Amino acid sequence: MLAMRILQVSDIHGRLERVEEIVKKAGEVKPDLIVVAGDITHFGDLEDAEEIMDKLSEAGIQIFFVSGNCDPPKMLSWQPKNKLVENLHGKSVEFRGFIFVGTGGGSGKFGTLTELSEEEFEHILRKFVDLPENLIFISHSPPHGLEVDFTGSKHIGSKAIRKFVEDHQPILMCTGHAHEGRGIVKLGRTVIVNAGPAKDGFCAIIDLVDGSVRAELSTLY
């Protein structure tokens, strides 16, 4: 039996006090993995990111992350020295019997630090082939046209990411980016979780047992 609990956060935006709350929350809910779905810093640099990740690793739990549009471009390829922290951008990684793939950067044009075109997303995602059924996808940018990418005035997700989800049907997608799009939706069999911005105290708790997914929106305090 494959089983795992995930504590999902995104959009920390450099708030160190929220990182302390994430560590405390991890101690309470005892996840096997912490997923950080981008915007770790707020127009910060790699030193800011390292400080946040080092503090987050005090939970003593494996951390998978992708960077977001408010993170520096160098974070797309940055691998922290901390062995508990893994950058999943453009990678496929096995953990506890599940296969994780990830893509960082932001969809949409807002004048932020790391914004990718649809063609760039397609290029990153094209390398993921022959993917298994127990697939989990981590992306800062959500699929376009759903509740989880809606800001209240427009959809800011990626069409290339939506096509990837529709084609490969991961069992779970962890995302962020659209702060107002906090929610849980399904696209085919894929459960898509936008936990809401951690900077405002939001998170999600996800339990996976074989092919089933149970996700719950929660708060850090």
Q: What pLDDT score does 211 carry? A: 84
Distance between CA 79 and CA 178 in Å, rounded? 25
- Give residue-wise pLDDT tens across range 100-127: 999 999 999 999 999 999 999 999 999 9
Range of the structural domain that residue 183 is part of: 3-219
Which residues in the chain land under pLDDT 70?
none
Q: What pLDDT score does 94 carry? A: 97
- The CATH number of the domain holding residue 202 is 3.60.21.10
Number of domains comprising the chain: 1
- Give residue-wise pLDDT tens across range 167-198: 999 999 999 999 999 999 999 999 999 999 99
Question: What are 99's two structure tokens?
Answer: 């296969």
